[in-house]
Amino acid sequence: MSTPLTAPVRIAALGKVAVLMGGTSAEREVSLMSGRGVLAALQSQGVDAHAFDPAERDLGELKRDGFARAFIALHGRHGEDGTVQGALELLGIPYTGSGVLASALSLDKVMTKRVWAAVGLPTPRWVRLDAACQRREDLRAVPDEIGLPLIVKPPREGSSIGVTKVLGYSQMADAVALAARYDADVMCEEFIEGIELTCPVLGTGDTARALPVVRIDAPEGNYDYEHKYFSDDTGYHCPSGLSAADEAEVQRLTLAAYHTLGCRGWGRADLMQRAADGALFLLEMNTSPGMTGHSLVPMSARAAGIGYEALCLALLESATLDSAHPGLHGASEAAR
């Protein structure tokens, strides 16, 4: 597949590069794995790239030390939620991935769903429980509204951290307590029985293109933190094995979801295809996807003919600031 990110990269023009990794979120370990992979790939191509951990160094040092751009390999809070993006905007240092608003919206799964629902994009039903609505009587009302089984998760974490599949009323309290360890708000989501899918996007605006879809087969359907990053038991299929029509529809929905949130550079949508009728549902948008040995964007990119090093270089070259895209925010025609 030809994408807007496959043109030759001029290494010298990239300047001194900071690979932001680690950070302070619950996904720190995964971020370090992603960052080390990206750093090695960039250095192997002659880029003047250096590791930079915001948990150990002040971001102001980026300007002082002459960094020309940043590759964001941070995941979760204070890395994928618009905060680091805002700091880089103030420092005037171009960075990879989405800008401040799109990053903040996408990390917050409740806000993501509200935006998608507003333009008619399909997403599972949900209930948000803020800190004042987590009493036992509140919890018992949730399965009555969205059914069982259901998924309980912290809305502003990733990598399946704090996520529980609830099979009965008696499990609600423990599931909500676990999610609340990571976020004051808790999201309860309708469980979709079926096939788990993911679809990356590369590019910005009209040049954005969806990459091949990846179908995920986790043991007993449990695609948790361990199975995402450390287990070899999870099966990944790219080509996905979907029909051509279903593959195209997943890509269409992914692009619509990406544009509606105002994303740029790259991202990855997670979806479910319901077994009962083949209906597709958007779950979330990742604006700083994993780049580890088990990660899905590199896998999909390889299927499109883009190697890991070329992918890292192209993403780095796409680094930019919000000010370069004043008209990016808002739903595109494809999403309406």
Active site residues: 27, 159, 229, 268, 270, 284, 286, 290
Q: Which residue has the tokens 């059914």?
A: 147
In DSSP terms, 286 is beta-bridged to: 268
For helices 83-91 and 100-107, the axis angle rounded to 10 degrees is 170
Are the C-beta atoms of 269 and 285 separated by less than 8 Å? Answer: yes
Token pair for residue 323?
A: 């000010």
Dist. CA 124–CA 126, nearest whole Å = 6
Identity of the amino acid at 197: L
28: helix, coil or strand? helix
Token pair for residue 27?
A: 């996904």
| 195-274-251-75 Cα dihedral, nearest 10 degrees | -60
User: Which long-range contacts does 237-243 make (Cβ < 8 Å, 24+ apart)?
Assistant: 238/212, 238/213, 238/214, 238/299, 238/300, 238/302, 238/303, 239/212, 239/213, 239/303, 240/197, 240/212, 240/213, 240/214, 240/215, 241/215, 242/197, 242/213, 242/215, 242/273
120 by Cβ neighbours in 10 Å (0-12 / 13-18 / 19+) ranks as exposed
Are the C-beta atoms of 177 and 171 separated by less than 8 Å? Answer: no
Q: What is the CA radius of gyration of the chain?
A: 19
| 43-290-203-118 Cα dihedral, nearest 10 degrees | -160
